[in-house]
Structure formats: structure tokens, C-alpha cells
Structure 1
């Protein structure tokens, strides 16, 4: 152990430090857990009490709403305004009132027991019964601490405006209970003296306390409700302190929502509606039950972990110090170096081995980084025909650590649709993302990645199989099915569509470039014919080679005119004629065919809706048909002039089309602005255009961002709803398309400078 003592001590100290650090972190975590657990328990209790308060206030609001409905009841108003004529009573009117109030107690348990007193008839009406003398009602229903005269004077003989009498003992047909009494005189504008009628609702304490059981059922303790004067409205549980003593205690802060008082957590909530105070007391031991469990488990497992960690540290320190010493000995023998007294074993090993490892890692990292580029370069060389022999192909494939996975197959070019003529940084970024998504989807579906980018909107794929080894080649139907699956996935997930062009089948690695060239011809034909989906080389027709007017040049001319670029269209026409007149000597028949091809190109463009709906259709058609090929210079001038006129028509129609698209976007937003899921993606899907395209287009035409316009529409409707004053702010936020009222309030204030509530108040004033 002596010769290993230095390394051994180093390991042991390290393990002890490693053991101490998580122990400290565990202790901090434990303290945080205790604090968070306590905080969550308090927050949950506050929320529970808040919910009970809100529920009780809603029920009391329903009671008040009941009295408001009675106030506008025409039958009650008739009875109140009738003058008593001796012993005659409006029996029919009383019967109608009894019938109309009969159902209220069935829908709200706070309205189980109420009565209406008519002063002119001296009659008390209850659901299903009428007492022609108040004394009869008092015999069955009375407050224990109140005589008949006091009852008549304080309740029947006074005017009440939404008055609530606190908890009092009540005799209900011989059954003792406690009730909270709500009183409202009629008509509602009664202010002094006696009123024609009064409605009295008696709410049983048990009915109220049923709404407060959430906290007491979970933790025990007590819950109490008192009015602004400190009188008890309802009380539940055991150990309720004297509120008057509590209010005088200087250690108790009545303004705090939660605080510990004696051995209880006291939660206090004040009602802004009626001034009631809701208090709940939770025993400390019940509140911290889960925290104490965490405490016990934490200390138990921490102690066990420390003891086991020390034993394991001793063992590992010894085991790890032995190989270090042996490695130092090997390095001394191999490199002939001796560590100095100033350097420890680790410094010695680092000085002799670190540089060698670093160099090796750098080399390996560089090779890995270059490998994808080497593979891509190999495939591009194979497609372009640079690799002539099979040996050369095999050598290059071995260097790139790849191959084409077979000897026969097809070369395919995927052309991403929808971006022709659109050149911008955003579009190029979208095309780059589209290529990556297509290649990843192909990898997930087909299980291979023999692809390379060729241009901004094209991907070249080599489908190959080892026919000689497996006896089963990758067939056209299988490839078509694979691409169909890829097309559905790309469109459904990312709204990417493409055209797939195939060359003829190759039977050897040396024929791959031939299939690729044929695939390019196939793609040119597909784009020229505006074909979608999968197009095979056998389905295309090869152009004549006697004059030079390739398909890609025709497509460039068509695309240029479609884009309205007059100067570029003239340049292409000039280039085509220059190549066929200056660099070639065409016969009369070939010249006539070339003229026919150019005229055909213009006529094909003329068949499009853009030109057919313009007023120049017939004029342009006649000019194109009337072109003569006798004078080459005049022919070129006429073709260029016609192309320029067509470009001007396109520019005019494009401006109109842009306006129509913007109007379509506005109509769609006007219809669905209330949908919180309305996004740029959905708008783009509606107008069938890319998201970047419609965003830029809307900004160019209107001068406003699409998101700002949507917010403006929502704010206009929100303002209209606020003026109507029929909905709450939360309801309005939902109706104008916001997921949360907070987001709506923030947006409304940003746009108008006022909060919704302030705006509504200003409008009302």
C-alpha cells in the first residue's frame, strides 16, 4: 500500500468529495422540497377556500336574483298595489303567486325555505301554502330569541335592502336549527318606513357549511364565515377561536392571506362583494404531514447512502490506483522517461500520452466530418459520368465507404413543386428545409439514403438492387408505391408536393449516368407538359436534334413570361435565334419547324386563363398566327414584341390576382377570427399558397403584417362587444379568439391604450 499511497489518497479524497457534493445538494433539495410542499399545501388550501367563497357568493347571488325576479313579477306588483277591502282577498292573485314561486326551491337548496309577506293583506306566502295571519306562520317557524311582536317589527314591519341577518337559532316546526336570513323589501326602491311587501329567505347553516367541507375533510380543523361586523354567518369544525379575541391579538395580522397562529395555519379571505370574512384553520401537523414523511425518508436514505458510499470509495480507490501505477511503469519502459519530483503520476501520463491521443482524435473527427461530403461527391461523380470503369467506381465507393447497393435499377429526380420563379433568401431556406424533410422521410420509409441535392429544388435518388445475388430486382411498381407513400407523407405532414422523373433502367454501375441524363430529359418533358406524380422515361418523346430549342430553354421562356419579366424574355428569344442562325445553318424545313415551335410556345402560353380573360387575347392570337418566317430579323422583332406585350398582361393580371388573394384572406379572417386556432398555416391552406408567400404578399399589398391585421379585426369585434355590455371580459376574450383572458387584456391595452374594463367604463360614462 505504501507505493500506491499517493494515488490511493488522491482517489479516496476525490470519492469523498464526490460523495459530499450530492449530499449537500440533497440537503438543499430536501429543504427546498419541504418548503415547496408546505407552500403547495398552503396554496391548495387557499384555493379550496377561495372556491368555497366563490360558490357561496354565486349561491347568494342566485338568492338575490330570485328577489329581483319577484320584484318584476306582474302578479306580485298587482297584489302589492291593491287596497285591502275588509275581509275580501284576491284569492286568484295569491294562487298565481304561489304557483309561480313553487319551483324555485327545487333548483336551489338555498331557496328551500322562504316566504313573502304582503302588508296590505297581512298574508304570508310560502311555496305551496298561504298564511292569512302571520301569527299562524310564527307558531311553526320562529327565531328562538325573538318574540312575535319583535319579529313583526324587525322583519315584517321594516324596509330591507338586500339585508343579511347573521346566524340565529331557529325553530322549524319543533326542530331546532340555525339559519342565515336574507331580506328584501318590495318595491326595490323602498327606502324608509314600511314597504308593501318583503321577501325573507332562511338559509340553513348546514346548507352553507356543506360548501365549506373541502378543507376540513382533508386536514380537519375549522372554517368560519363572519360579516363585516364580526357576527358569525356559518361555522364548521372544532376548535374555532373567538374571533373578537383574535381580532384584538397583536400577533395576528388580519390583512394576511395565510399565517400561523398558535398551532394552526389560519387562512383569511375577504369578499369584495358583501364584505364577509372567510377564515379556515388547519392544524400544523396535518398541513406538514407529507413534509414530515419526506423528511424521514430523506434522512434515512441519506445516512445509508453515505455509509455505503464510504465503503465503495475505499474499494474503488484501491482498485483504481493499481492500474494507474502499472500504466506509469509501462510508459517509463516504453518512452524511457522518468517523472520529476515536481510532477505527479497524472501529469506524467498526460505529458507523454495526451498529445498522441489528441492527434488521433482530431484525425478521426476530421475523417468523420468529411465522410458525408465524400459520399455525396462520389454520387455526383457517378451521376455526371466522371467514373469510367467499374474498377474506378468500386475504388471510389470504397473510399467513400458507400456504394449504390446493387448493379441494376433506376435514377430518379425529385422536383419540389410550388417555387418556380420565386428567388429569395426565405424561399431558398424553405427549399433547403423541404429537401432535408424529403430525404429524412425517404430514409424512414425506404431505409436507405442514396440521395444527393442537385440544384435548389431537386433531389437525385438512385434505386438499385443486387439482381445477380438476390435474383429479385427493385421493380417499377414497388418504386412507384414507395414514392406514392412518400408523396402522401410529405404532403400530409409538411404540405410538400413533388414530381418524380425516372430515366431508363441501368444494368450496370457504369450506366448510372446514362439513366441520370434520361431522367433529366424526362423531368424537362414533365415540367413542359405540366405533369405531376411519377413520370417514366419511356413515356416521354425525345426532341429533334436538328435545331437547338431544348425543353429547359422553352420552360425558361415560359416561366419568364409567366413572371412578367419582359427583358429576360427578350434575351431568351434572342439567345434561341442566335444559336440557330449564327451557330447553325438550318435548312428551310428546319427553320420552319423552329418557327413553329416558338409560335407554339407562345400559343401554349396564350391558352392560359391569364391571357384568355384579357382583352388582348384575340389580338395576340392573330399576331402569333400571322408571323412569317421569311425575314429572320423581322421575325425576331415580332416575337420579342409579342413576348413583351404578354409580360405586361401578366404583370397587370398578377396585380389583380394579388388583390383577389388578399381579399380572400380578409374574408376568411372575418369569418373565422373567433377561432383561437386560426394560424398562418390555416390561412395559407385556405388560399392554397405557401405561408411565406402569403405573408409577403399581404404585407406588400396592404402595408400591414397579417398577424397585425388579425389582431386589429379581433380588437374591433371586442370593442363592439364591450359597448353592448352583454358579456364579461373573459367571455369576450373567448368570442374573439383568445385562449386566455390575460392575453386578450394585454393585446387590448397594447392596441387601444386602455384595459377592457376601463374602456367599458369610459363608454358607459
Structure 2
């Protein structure tokens, strides 16, 4: 057959159509995949950089707050005065300094590793582990503060080898000035940030094979991941003198894109199948022509035809010679000739030519073209009004499907069904001749809907295109499921047909600053604002009439934005919230109604937490008021307060730490010494009686605490006043 120019042209025409069609569709698939991958990569990079920026900003903020607390600490001021007066601290005072430093960064222990104070002119440094002796007095450094570097204290201030042991811990160092009351710089504070903790938090924000380079004031601070031989994918300048360079792996369009690979493989398989079908179709349509050629040549193979010869014309000419020149035969051949010239093979196999004109052919050469066609549909069942999926009785639905089969099935149409889950079923129609099935499916939907209407069930159908290759059954099921995605835009209770071409390439709408607006509504407990914001997104996107893939991307983007915002807002409180992802097939309205209800529930929980917090604040005020009125009572203690207000000792310690930035004992001691000073100024009571009056049963303890606060013994203070 390949010797025939007619056959070759016929087959090559099929191949050309297949190659052009598949090439256009492949290009469209690759373009869409590349565009989606670029958008997703940009979104991921922005998200990662923001998370990294949050980690670094929070870390730097913790370090700054630690330095600020040290500046305003009375214990640290007493330390400075003792250092200036060259008055060595006793063991108790050293302990107080050590405890004060430890308490000041205790609340930030997950970020801060240690804190050290260096006073100019002093050969001792103070940390939570106690005083550290140096060979030479500490002098002013050449670097400007505040400063954030990566290294250790020894290298930063140039300590000798025998001193390096105390300051060899590697980490992020935050240096800032330590000032006295008048703002004079009297030393340096060094906050050692836990490098491993910081690297772990940064690594958790990065994806696989991603790296980031962090710069502070234009200089490299630290690098997470391998950046050798790579160029930054994106750069960002943050606040607090930070800038960031994010390095990402090079994304191959086909690598890690199984969907695109699968589509191209399917496309290649379909092209091969079409080519095979084209070959057999060409062979089938050419076979009558080949048979007539053999008849004309007396059963011998037809000779090859040169480029300037007409093969069909030669066959017709041979038939005329074989039959003769009689008028009756000429009339018949004149009638058959138009069929041959316009494609006689098609007239023969389709039965359009009369039998009296085809008696030269044997019946064995006729080909039966009646192949079974089929179409697949999928049905979804849900409760009316709510959209919640409905678990159906397979037995009841089988009876309904039998009724459908009894109504429409016949000799030329067969109906089968298959339950794919608790709330869905496939309905498959097979028939002999290709036809328009839309009206039939509308009728089937109406019959099924009326049968389950009393149970308040809504039936939605997705219908694939007519097919004839049984190997495409899986694709037919996927096509029906894809058509059912029309629920997203048009809602339930409809019949959706698979479209031959996807809808236009339209991006979904998300208002500028959507995340910030959502956060503002949550923080302000603005339920009306939530309603309006989500309705704007829903209504605007509904009017776009986009494809189901676009709406799915919208739903996913809104969900991710909601979750990050809710976690950000709830992170400021003790409430931990979560919103479940939509897993069932729902309409766009149902999804946004669910999101709206979920966010309103979040606001209700936050308000409930605030009321609980206010109740706790009221209790805190009562406790503080009781202590301020009874601090002179020698018997007042944490245990007494714990029993009286039914709270734990830890709760009381945190209360005074958060409210006054000091421990409970420091608060009691400060109040008692203030009252003692007032009584000494009045000069009405002896010193020993004043100590007892302000709550000290032991006079030695009174004198030691008085000196720790004022710098003088009670008697010295009284003498100065006189």
C-alpha cells in the first residue's frame, strides 16, 4: 500500500493534523506550567524572606530589650557606683548582681545565651555566672555601637590567650553602650545570642536546597545553606539595617513537575494512538480503491504510479476498458465517476452509492463501521442549603438508576452505573451511533433529582464528551470529574458538560493588602469588616467567569493567607487557633461562607480570651494592692499570697517580673526601704525600732538591705540627714 501515492497522501494528511494539533497543545501546556511555576516561586520567595526577616528582627529586638533592662536596673547602678568608688562587693552583693543579670534575660532564654557587662577602667566583667577577672582593666573599644557581629567576645575586644577561655563561646554578639543615670557611657553590654537556635529557626523557614545570606549594615553577618557558585534569586532590604540575599535552586520546567510530565506523556501516547488510528483509517478507506486496481490489472499488483500520473484516473480508465463502451455501462460509470474522483472509497464504505453501481465489487470488501460509542458522567449528592456532602444509600440509588435505565435504555443504548464513594456515582451510557446527548442528560438529572427531593438532597452532574476508544475510560472519568468542578462557579443542582476548550487565561482577584486588611479586622474584632472583605473577593472573582483551576488557586491562596494571619494574631495571645482546609467539592459561595464563619469563630475565641485576660488583670491588681498595703507585715510571704488568692508561686513571681521588672523580694525590699527612709527623715523613732516597724525582725538584714538600696547604712544615712 505504501507504493500508492493516494495512500501515502492520505496517511500523511492524518499525521500532519496530529503533529500540528499536538504541537500547539504542548506549547500551550508548557507556557502555562512555566507561568504558574514563576508565580509560585515569586510568592514562596516573598514568604520566606518575610519569615527570615521576622526571625532576625525579633532576635535583635530581644537583645536590645535586654540591654535596656540592664541600663534601668538599680542593682546594676549600684554595681557601677561600687566600681567607681573602688568599693569591692561582698558575697551577697555579687550574688544579687549575678541573679539580676540572670533574671533580666530569663524570659528570653530561648534566644539569649548569656549577657556580659564590661565597665571602663574595671578589670572585672559581670555575667549570670558571676564576675570574671581580666588581666588588664577594660578600655573603650574602637568599634561603634550598637553593633551586631558573628563571632566570640574574645576576638571582638582583643583579649589575650589566657583570657580567651571565658569568652570563647561562638554566636551572634550584640554590643551596645551601658549608660548611667545622666546618660554617660560607662561601659559596654554584650548580649550573646544563641547561634544554633537562630540557625535552626532560619533553616526551618527555608525550603530544600535553598540558602540565604544575611547582611547587617552592609556587611555579611551569617549564611544559612550552601551559596557557593550560585547567584541570589531575590534580594530584600529590611528594617534595622538588615538586608537579605535568597539563593534558590535552579528550577527545571520538567523537574519536580509530574503533572506536566504526565500530560506530555499522555499527549505523546495519544499522538501515537492517533497515528495508529490514522494508519488503519487510511488503509480501510484505501482498500476498495486497491481492490478495484487489482480488478483492472487482472489480479496482478498495481504498478507504481509516477508523480505526473493520476492513480484514480487510471483505475477509472481501466474499469471503462474492462466493461466496454456500451451506453448502458457508460451511463453507470458516469454515475460512479464522481464518487471516485471525490473519494470513491468513502462513498463505498458509508453506503452512499447504490448497489447497482457497486456490483463489480464482492460483498467481502465491505467494512462494518459501527463501533460502540460511550459517554461518562459523575453525580454528586449534597444536602440542600448547607452544601454538606450526603452519604447516600447505594441500594436506594440502584433502584433509581434502574428506573433511569428502564426509561432511556434500549437495543441501541445501554446504561451502567458504579458507586465511587458515599456521596458520588458514575453513570456510563454506551450506544451504537454518535449523537448529541445533552437533552438526555438533562432528563436523567431531572428524574434523579425528583426522586431524592423529599430527602432534601441536591444532585449535580458532570458529563464528559462522547468517546469511542475504551482505553480512554480513565480519561473519560477524569473529564467528567473536571466538568463537575463547574460547581465552583455556578453552584449545585446543575448539569455541567466538559468543554472542548478551556476558558480564557484569567488571573483571580485578590485585593491589594488583603493580608494586612484581614489582620486589621481580626485585631480590631471587626466582624462586619470580615464580611465585607470576603464578599468583595467572592463577588469580584465570581464575575470573572474563570476556569476551575483558577478558582482552586484562589481558594488555596485565601486559605494560606488566612492561616498565616490567624497564627500571627493568635501568636500575640495564649490562644492557638486553626482552620481546616476545604477537602470536599464545594461551590465558591459555600467555601467563602465557611471561611467567613471560621473567621467569626476566631474573633469570638479572641474576645473570650480577652475577657479571661481582663479577669486575670483584675486579680493581679488585687494582689499588688494587698502587697502595697501589707508589705510592713513581717509575716507576708509568697505562700501567704498563694493561699489567699489561690494561685501558684510561679504565677506571683511572673506577675511582679512583668509588672515591675523585678522579683517579688526586690519589690518588698524596695517598699520597706522607702518607708524606712521616710521614718528616718521624720526623726521620731530610733533606727532599731524603724527596722521592726517596716517589717524586718532581724536588724542585720535591715541594715544590709538598706545599704544595698541607698549605698549607706541606716545610721550613716540618718547622720547625713542631721
Q: TM range, normalised to the smaller chain?
A: 0.3 to 0.5
TM-score normalised by L of structure 2: 0.36
TM-score normalised by L of structure 1: 0.34
Higher helix share: 1
